[in-house]
Structure 1
Amino acid sequence: MSLVPRLKAMTVQVLQHVVQTDRRVRQGRSPWARRLLGGAFVAGGLLWFLPVLGIWMLPLGLALLSDDVGWMRRLRRRGHARLLAWVNDRRPRRSGRASRRPTRSVRREPAD
């Protein structure tokens, strides 16, 4: 087995593990543990200049906290809806339906 398929398989496994862990934390029965973990990530993100801690921890902590804080949850859902609408507007259509963007027609001169 070559290197590229093995890397793809490992990437899929890692992403599946991350999604499962995310679901477990978000749907967990203890909102206090989720709040504590989110606060710890935000605090770690504020200490971005230290070697292991980084700015990557800040959005992750805010995403965890947004499940429990109403205004953050609404803001996250609005942003998610806008992002999906933006992606769907730019995705090429696969079916026979007409796309939202007008296509440029190429005018060809008749052959003499």
Structure 2
Amino acid sequence: MKIGNSPEGTASTVKAEQRPAARKADATATTDAARSAAATPAPSAQVAISSAAKMAASAAGSDDGSFDAAKVDRIAKAISEGKFTVNANAIADKLVANAQELVSARGNKH
């Protein structure tokens, strides 16, 4: 038995008395946080996009065939129906090929 502990359980009554006060403090903190979130400050900076950046963005967004919405829909449907399968061999082959490209590109630079 530790010094100062009595078998009557006075410590548990103290804890029980402190709980409502702690809940009230938590509720006050939550209310204060909600108030500060509601008072969102106005933006402090303005951003302007240059014409070169606009041209680069439009060129990047051009339809170069890298995004196939129909394919995405087919894959999403197969996943939702539980019919989508992963070809682990094809993924492994691509990873190895990409790694070989990176290693050979690094070797050519040095």
Q: TM-score with structure 1 length normalisation?
A: 0.27
Larger Cα Rg: Structure 1 or Structure 2?
2
Q: TM-score with structure 2 length normalisation?
A: 0.27
